[in-house]
Amino acid sequence: MTPAVTRAYYEDLAVGDAASSAESFEVLRDEIVAFAQRWDPQPFHLDEAAARDSIFGGLTASAAHVFAIQCRLAVSVEPRVALLAGLGNDGLELLLPTRPGDRLRLTRRILEKRESKTKPDRGIVQIEHELINQRGEIVCRAVGRVMIARRPG
């Protein structure tokens, strides 16, 4: 509502539009462990020795941690979007492990959009997100749904 800030509304997102995060996110060993201690205490997220014996052969970030990184980078792609709510996702695939020292960036593409049937001030947008590491490999692909305000007036 502040006139000086240009907001991005439902009308500003076009199906097919793609964008990438300007910044990348560095995945830190200590944060992998701290996140897992609180949220996903599996040995292969917590302990180097257990992780060496796992199918990954080393420490990896929790799925919840990877999703959190995706959310953070999504905000950096679209800091001005008039987001009303996240609604969840229509699938999230962990394609490769995320490891200490990885640098992730995010690309997103608008898949679909529709106006709300009941509320004229908002619409639902379906967005594909890909997290890409420093080698150009896609480590996570997800299709999310968000509710975005329509342009007022």
| Contacting residues toward a second copy, per CB under 8 A | 35, 38-42, 54-56, 62-64, 67-72, 75, 83-94, 140, 142, 147
Q: Which is nearer to a second copy, 16 or 88 (CB)?
A: 88
Q: Which is nearer to a second copy, 16 or 53 (CB)?
A: 53
CB of 63 to a second copy, least distance (A): 4
Q: Which is nearer to a second copy, 132 or 140 (CB)?
A: 140
The Cα–Cα gap between 106 and 138 comes to: 9
Helix/strand/coil percent split, the chain, to 5: 25, 35, 40
Helices (H), the chain: 29-39, 43-46, 48-52, 63-77
Query: What is the DSSP pairing of strand 103-115 with strand 25-26?
Result: antiparallel
Total Cβ atoms within 10 A of residue 136: 7
Helix pair angle (63-77, 29-39), 10° resolution: 120
CB of 135 to a second copy, least distance (A): 20
CB of 130 to a second copy, least distance (A): 13
Select from 67, 73, 65 the least CA-distant residue to 100.
65
CB of 153 to a second copy, least distance (A): 18
Q: Which is nearer to a second copy, 18 or 85 (CB)?
A: 85
